Amino acid sequence: MGLLKEAYKKRKKYIIEQKKSKRTMVAFIILVVILLAVTLILGGFLFSDF
């Protein structure tokens, strides 16, 4: 009985971890896109001065 409960808890934790990692991946991609956009905009401003 105890073993089953432990296995279930581990499985639940694993599924939650999987969801979290997927979310962090999406957040990371969005962050990279935003950073790229910001650098392009700032770069455009800097280079338009020269």
pLDDT in tens, 6-28: 988 999 998 888 888 899 999 99
Cα 17 off chain centre by? 12
Helix extents (H) in 1-50: 2-49
Q: Classify 50 as helix, strand or coil.
A: coil
Q: If you compute the radius of gyration of the chain from its CA atoms, what whole number of angstroms results?
A: 22
d(CA 44, CA 18): 39
pLDDT value at position 9? 92
pTM, two decimals, is 0.56
pLDDT score for 2: 84
Instruction: Give the mean model confidence (pLDDT) for residues 22-37.
Output: 95
What is the C-alpha separation between 20 and 6, in angstroms, rounded?
Answer: 21
